Amino acid sequence: MLNLAHLSKVYADGTRALSDINLAVRESEIVGLIGGSGCGKTTLLRLIAGLDTASQGQISLDGEIITEPHPAIGIVFQEPRLLPWLTVSDNVAFGLDQVAPAERAARVAHALDKIGLAEHATRWPRDLSGGQQQRVAIARVFVANPKVLLLDEPFSALDAFTRASLHEHLLGLWEETRPTVVLVTHDVQEAVTLADRAIVMQPKPGRIFDELPLGIARPRDRSSLPFESAVRRVMGALDHSLNTVQTSPQRERDREAAGLWW
């Protein structure tokens, strides 16, 4: 579905942001990218979105090479980035000019209902709280029915209660069309709450350190033993990635060890 092959990014000043990223994301899978500052998570998301170009390697979606923004790929940023001169409903409808008016109105109304903002459809973004604005930004992406949804820490500026509520709204929308999701986060519990697989990245240069399938049925209970166990596993891999200098990532060493064993 979404395939990243030998992806590297070097900036003009010589900074190596990413080195040899190889990752295959399955259809309808939610993948969480987690790692310390400077490990290239946002850079990787921008490359997938077509907002930047790789120095080496390629990104493909269903076999099509991605080199620029693609209509099948949507992105939600850390800030809502709503248009202040448009109402809530018009912000959600933004980008649906090619959709018939009746269908556009139905999509927008359904999305606003799913995120709990139907009664705010005619209000202005300035009248909403930060959490409500971010819900509008999420709805705006979902109404376009993307195949791939990219989330760049969209909940990082919110309090814990609001963040947990948005997780539920996000999963509610995702359940309807099940797009492939790539989530960037610094929050281990958020990654375990939302993702099917946690990708732990290592900095300087950014690369994949480990992959951890989470294997927890939804809906997920944050107080359950499987959830707490998954959090500990991801936290352990994250700590190891930050405290270990390696010549090869964990998953490559695991494959090499397996080869020697057999």
Give the CA distances from residue 8 to residues 16, 240, 246, in Å, rounded to whole numbers and listed in that order: 8, 23, 18
**End-to-end Cα distance, the chain:** 30
* pLDDT (tens digit per residue) in 189-220: 999 999 999 999 999 899 999 999 999 999 89
Strand order in the sheet with 2-10: 16-25, 2-10, 56-61, 64-65
Task: Give the span between the Cα atoms of 68 and 183, in whole angstroms.
Answer: 20
Q: Check if the beta carbon of residue 179 is closer than 8 Å to that of residue 147.
A: yes
Query: What pairing do the DSSP bridges indicate for beta strands 56-61 and 73-76?
Result: unpaired
Q: What is the pLDDT of residue 245?
A: 66
Of 147, 201, 197, which is closest to residue 177 (Cα–Cα)? 147
Q: What is the pLDDT of residue 251?
A: 55
What are the boundaries of each domain within the chain? 2-72+146-261, 81-145
* pLDDT (tens digit per residue) in 95-147: 899 899 999 999 999 999 999 999 999 999 999 999 999 999 999 999 999 99
Q: What is the pLDDT of residue 260?
A: 38
Instruction: Assess whether pLDDT exceeds 70 at residue 255.
Output: no
Q: What is the pLDDT of residue 250?
A: 53
Helices (H), ranges, the chain: 41-49, 88-93, 101-114, 130-142, 160-177, 188-194, 225-243, 250-261
* pLDDT (tens digit per residue) in 53-97: 999 999 999 999 999 999 999 999 989 999 999 999 999 999 899
Q: What is the pLDDT of residue 37?
A: 82
Q: What is the pLDDT of residue 257?
A: 40
Note the pTM of the prediction, 2 decimals: 0.90
Query: What pairing do the DSSP bridges indicate for beta strands 148-152 and 73-76?
Result: parallel
Instruction: Assess whether pLDDT exceeds 80 at residue 25.
Output: yes
Mean pLDDT of 222-235: 95
The domain defined by 2-72+146-261 folds into: Rossmann fold (3.40.50)
Give the CA distances from residue 90 to residues 87, 114, 122, 150, in Å, rounded to whole numbers and listed in that order: 5, 16, 8, 22
SS3 221: coil
